[in-house]
Every structure is written in structure tokens, then in C-alpha cells.
């Protein structure tokens, strides 16, 4: 039997911080600090800077952590110009939020499926790059808000985004159909 993989393994690519920055684990602390936290050294992939990050602020990097993912949701991107659009961080944020939400009950799994399917539809749609980026950013915000407790959600922001999406996707008819199918599930979960 092999060793169980760990998100803290040296050399593993991870997301950290509120902005889901990407980094590589450089060293792992096995001894808690004075407050009981484990502080690990990560190299920020954008700046190259070595940072000390508390373990609870480290999350798996969705595209690279197949070995950590059991039956967790993941947005699949096929035949897409996603690299040219640089949507990776938004897709990563959506996946991280959906993984957190998927730990809940049946209504949460319906929301996860709906947001997952709609996001995949948007990424593969024939929308202008700027439009596609805006819609994926909106879906990223919806996913992040959906992962929060209902009383912590920004209802005004969510209502504005949900009202804006149909107009933003109006030129892609198959997306309009997807929104008609999944929009009510998404809004029901969000309580708006």
C-alpha cells in the first residue's frame, strides 16, 4: 500500500491565501507554533518570494491534485482557448468553492452540479473573450458566495450578478437554454 498523498508535501503546487495565489511547498512544519498552528514555507509562483503560510490557508491546486480528490467536483475544460484567456485562477476558485460546498447535503450537490455544468458551458461557448472572462468572473463570485453561510452572503451582489447573466450570454443560444435549466437551481441555493 502506497503512502497517502498530502497537500503539504514538499514540491506540491498549492493555492493559498484569500486570493487563491499559487505556490509551491518548500518546507513543511511538523511542530505547531505557540498558538497551535503549523506554518509552512511556500514559494509564491508569481513573485518567487518565499512566504510563511499557516496550514489552514493552504488548499489543493485543483488541476494538479487528482491524487487528493476523491469524488469531488471539478470543472472540465476541453478544446478551449482558456490558456489564452487566462481564466485559470477563476476556474481554480470556482473548483475550490464547489469542493467545499459538495460536502453538504442534496441541495448543495444540485447547486454544485448546476454551477459546474453552466461554467463548463460558458468556457466552451462561442462568446467574445471579454464576455467569457466577465461571465466566468461572475460565476467565480457566485461560487465563493455560495460556499458561505447564508447570513454571510452578499445578497445585493448575488442578485445583481444573477440578473446580469442572462443579458451577458444572450448571444449564445445554448447558454440561454443552460441558464434556463440551471439558473433556478443556483438562485434557490443562494436564497435569492
Per residue in 126-159, pLDDT (tens digit) is: 888 888 889 989 999 999 898 888 899 899 999 9
92 and 60 together in one domain = no
pTM, two decimals, is 0.54
Q: Which residue segment(s) compose the domain that 49 sits in?
A: 13-64
160 has a pLDDT exceeding 90: yes
Distance CA 86, CA 80 (A): 11
C-alpha closest to that of 189 among 107, 105, 102, 114: 107
Q: Is residue 39 part of a domain?
A: yes
35 and 111 together in one domain = no
Residue 58, strand partner residues: 16
Report how far apart, in Å, the C-alpha atoms of 137 and of each of 79, 144, 165 are: 20, 11, 11
The dihedrals phi and psi of 102, each to the nearest 5 degrees, come to: -65, -10
Provide the domain count of the chain.
2
Distance CA 138, CA 183 (A): 13
C-alpha closest to that of 107 among 179, 180, 188: 188
**pLDDT, tens digit, 9 for 90 and up, residues 6-28:** 556 777 778 787 777 888 888 88
**pLDDT, tens digit, 9 for 90 and up, residues 35-54:** 677 788 888 888 889 988 88
122 and 41 together in one domain = no
- % of the chain at pLDDT higher than 90: 17
Amino acid at each position: 500500500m502506497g503512502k497517502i498523498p498530502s497537500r503539504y508535501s514538499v514540491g506540491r503546487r498549492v493555492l493559498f491565501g484569500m486570493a487563491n495565489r499559487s505556490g509551491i511547498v518548500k518546507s513543511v512544519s511538523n511542530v505547531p507554533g505557540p498558538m497551535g498552528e503549523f506554518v509552512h514555507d511556500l514559494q509564491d509562483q508569481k513573485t518567487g518570494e518565499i512566504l510563511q503560510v499557516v496550514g489552514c490557508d493552504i488548499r489543493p491546486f485543483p488541476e494538479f491534485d487528482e491524487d487528493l480528490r476523491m469524488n469531488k467536483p471539478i470543472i472540465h475544460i476541453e478544446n478551449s482557448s482558456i490558456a489564452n484567456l487566462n481564466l485559470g485562477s477563476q476556474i481554480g476558485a470556482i473548483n475550490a468553492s464547489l469542493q467545499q460546498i459538495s460536502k453538504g447535503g442534496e441541495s448543495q450537490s444540485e447547486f454544485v452540479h448546476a454551477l459546474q455544468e453552466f461554467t463548463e458551458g460558458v468556457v466552451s461557448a462561442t462568446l467574445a473573450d471579454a464576455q467569457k472572462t466577465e461571465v466566468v468572473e461572475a460565476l467565480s463570485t457566485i461560487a465563493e458566495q455560495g460556499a458561505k453561510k447564508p447570513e454571510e452572503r452578499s445578497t445585493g451582489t448575488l442578485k445583481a450578478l444573477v440578473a446580469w447573466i442572462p443579458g451577458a450570454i444572450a448571444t449564445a443560444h445554448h447558454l440561454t437554454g443552460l441558464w434556463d435549466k440551471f439558473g433556478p437551481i443556483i438562485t434557490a441555493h443562494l436564497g435569492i
